[in-house]
Structures are given as structure tokens and as C-alpha cells.
Chain A
């Protein structure tokens, strides 16, 4: 485009660097980076800092690429939902074609570079994660079943396993436990969000549990998943990635989380509307802290073990 064409009003707006960065879902990427780093450092194999840095970077790029592909496919839903209307595609900053090309290019780059930087098992796991999030969750499950969040949550749970695979070249019970922790955490986290953002999902026609099975059922589901999550989270204390520090953190957080889920279970929509979903919003905020602190505790245990402390 020449300077003269600047006066042509029919031109589409050009995306800025920040618009492309926003396509990577930076907030989700921080979770990916953190959990992958914990998975990598908790593994019983020392990895060169340069390889740690490069591997985490390419795992983050892979996670971001799947976010861009998710935005490409879900542009129609994002345009309807208030929470996502300002994303780069619905706001007209980036075209769907640009997002698709960006996502595909970064997916390929991240998988190949992770394979070259660490090992091809970890790269294969990253490739599967991108495939799972984009094809299985975004294209298939999200618009088809109210269990979308349950199964789709697996995509967000893979990063610690990838981190572990970078260090060890394989899978073990510890990495599967870290996967399960995020996997079981995802449904109550998103269902709490769906309870107080219900209009959004209704309007977009996404079959969230709140829409298909009703809000009472969603409250029961949140409580049941939270009980199962608490058993898993506290049980992890007694494995090789756990220890006294992790146990203390897990007990406190799970008591708080169970209390939150119980409050949500006990109340009905009238009570929630009356205080603008205070309990649901509180539970959602706590869920963010919950996952962060559990993985922080795993990291602390791993660091302590390097100094001959930590663990049982």
C-alpha cells in the first residue's frame, strides 16, 4: 500500500504489533508458562538453564498459537459475548485469515523448535496439546456438549507434563498427577464463571452446563468436582512431588475451596442475584489463587529437595 492509498476509506484497518500479541491470549499464556516451568523444575533431572529458557519459551509460543487458532475459529461467538467482544478479530483489528496464518505458523515453529531444543517426545506432546485444544475442544466439543469444559480442560492441563517431558523425555506418575490437578480444577473454575456470566453463554449458544442442565445442576457439579479435586490435591502431598510444605498449602486451600463450593451449592439464584453473585465471584477468584499456590508449593518442594530438604 502506498502513501496515496491512505486516503481510501474502504481500506481495512491494519493490525498493530499489540493486536497480534493479544491473539496469543497472554493471560492464559502466563498459566501455561508457570505450570510448564514447575513441571520442568520438579522433574528429578537437571536441565541446562538455556534449554529451560528456550523450552518454556516455545511451549508458551505453542500455547499462544493455539489461542490464536481458537480466536480464528470462535470469531463468531466472540463477537456476541460481552467478555470477548474486544478481542482482535471481532473488534476488526485483525482479519480471520491473518489469525489463521499466524496461529498455524507459530504452531509449526513452536513444535519444531521445542523438538530441537529439548526432545521430540516433548515436542510431540506439545503438538498433541495444540491439536487437542484447537480441533477436539474448539472445533468439536465446545459447541456440541455441556461436558466441553471437562474434556477440553485437558488441553490446559498438558503444560506441566510437557515441562516434565522436556527434562525426563517421558511421562511418569508425578507428571500425570500435575495434569490431573489442572484437569480437575478446570470445571469448577469455568462453571463458577458461567454462573455469573450466564447471559454471555446463552446469547452465544454455547452449550454450557448452565444452559443445558440448569443452574441447580451446575451448582451440584461444582461441589462434586471440588470434593474430587480436594482428594486428589491433598493426596498428591504424599507422592515424590509433595511434602510438608505442599501438604500445608493443599489443606488450607482445599478447606477454603470446599467452603466456597458448599456456599455455591447451598444457595439458589435468587440469593445470588441479591448480592450480585458474590459467592460465585469469590470462588472464581479463589480458584485462580488455588492453582497458582498449589504449583508454587510443588516448586518450593522441588527447590528444597535440591538442598536435601523437602519431601518426606
Chain B
């Protein structure tokens, strides 16, 4: 078999790599979305000290 020829295993690896790539991109989007929601809601605000209140 010539090295340049498209083998079934290449197609399979391409599909797997594409899938992993898309999942990673989706994961980043979810983390980004969650961060925006939590920061907007003030989840990460430091607790108020007595002097401030």
C-alpha cells in the first residue's frame, strides 16, 4: 500500500480528532458562559466587612 493513499484508519483518526477538537471548543464555550453568568450574578464578590456595611 502506498504511503500517501487514504487508509480507513486515517478516516477514523480524522473523525476522532475532529470530535475531540469540537468537544474541547464546546467545553471552553461552556466554561466561558458559566463564568459570565457567575460573575454577573456576583457569585465571586468578596464578602462585605462590617466596616463597609
A residues adjacent to B (C-beta < 8 A): 3-4, 6-7, 14-18, 20, 48, 50-51, 53-54, 57, 116-117
User: Is A54 in contact with B33, judged by CB distance below 8 angstroms?
Assistant: yes
A7–B16 CA distance with the chains assembled, in angstroms: 21
Are B9 and A6 in touch, CB under 8 angstroms?
A: yes
**Pair A16/B37 contact, Cβ less than 8 Å:** no
Q: Are A6 and B16 in contact (CB under 8 A)?
A: no
Distance from A236 Cβ to chain B, minimum over Cβ atoms (Å): 33
User: 17 additional contacts, CB 8 Å, given A17-B16, A50-B34?
Assistant: A3-B3, A3-B7, A4-B3, A6-B1, A6-B7, A14-B9, A14-B12, A14-B13, A15-B16, A16-B12, A17-B18, A17-B19, A17-B20, A50-B37, A51-B37, A54-B30, A54-B33
Q: Which residue of B lies closest to A117 (CB)?
A: B34
B1-43 toward A: CB 8 Å interface, digit per residue (1/0)? 1010001010011011011100000000010011011000100
Which residue from chain A places its CB closest to the CB of B36 in the assembled complex? A50
Among B7, B16, B30, B41, the residue within 8 A (CB) of A16 is B16
Query: Would you give the shortest CB distance from A245 to chain B, in whole angstroms?
Result: 32
A108 to B40, CA, bound (A): 27
A4: chain B residues at CB < 8 Å are: 3
Given contact pairs A6-B1, A7-B1, A48 touches B12 in the complex (Cβ within 8 A):
no
Knowing A6-B1, A6-B9, A48-B41, the reply to whether A17 touches B15 (Cβ < 8 A) is yes
How far apart are the CA atoms of A173 and B30 in the complex, in Å? 32
What are 13 A-B contacts defined by CB distance under 8 Å? A3-B3, A3-B7, A4-B3, A14-B9, A14-B13, A15-B16, A16-B12, A17-B19, A48-B41, A50-B34, A53-B30, A116-B34, A117-B34
The residues of B that contact A116 with a CB separation of less than 8 Å are: 34
In whole angstroms, how far apart are the Cα atoms of A4 and B12 in the complex? 17
Are A54 and B3 within 8 A (Cβ)?
no
Q: How far is the CA of A117 from the CA of B33 in the complex (A)?
A: 10
**Docked pose: A51 CA to B39 CA in angstroms:** 13
Whether B34 pairs with A51 at a CB distance below 8 angstroms is: yes
Q: A54–B35 Cα gap in the complex (Å)?
A: 11
Distance of A57 Cα from B33 Cα, bound (Å): 14
- In the complex, the chain A residue whose C-beta lies closest to that of B40 is A48
Given known A-B contacts A6-B7, A48-B41, A54 and B12 have beta carbons under 8 A apart: no
Give the nearest-CB partner of B37 in chain A: A50
* Cβ–Cβ < 8 Å partners of A57 in chain B: 30
Per CB-CB distance, the 3 closest pairs between chain A and chain B, nearest first, are A17-B19, A17-B16, A3-B3
Determine the chain B residues whose CB is within 8 A of the CB of A54 once the complex forms.
30, 33-34
Set of chain A residues within 8 Å of B1, measured between Cβ atoms: 6-7
Q: With both chains docked as a complex, state the minimum distance between the C-beta of B37 and any C-beta of chain A, in angstroms.
A: 5
- Write the nearest CB–CB distance from A102 to chain B, whole angstroms: 12
Q: Which residue of chain A is the closest to B7 with respect to CB atoms?
A: A6
B33 A50 Cβ-Cβ under 8 A:
yes
CB contacts (< 8 Å) of B41 on chain A: these are: 48
Q: Give the distance in Å from the alpha carbon of A48 to the alpha carbon of B39 in the complex.
A: 13
Which chain A positions have C-beta within 8 A of B20? Answer: 17
A residues near B18, Cβ cutoff 8 Å: 17
The CB with the most chain B CB atoms within 10 A, among A17, A20, A51, A54, is that of A17
Instruction: Kindly provide the distance from the CB of B36 to the nearest chain A CB, expressed in whole angstroms.
Output: 8
Nearest CB in chain A: distance from B13 CB, A: 7
What are the residues of chain B within 8 A of A14 when measuring CB–CB?
9, 12-13, 16
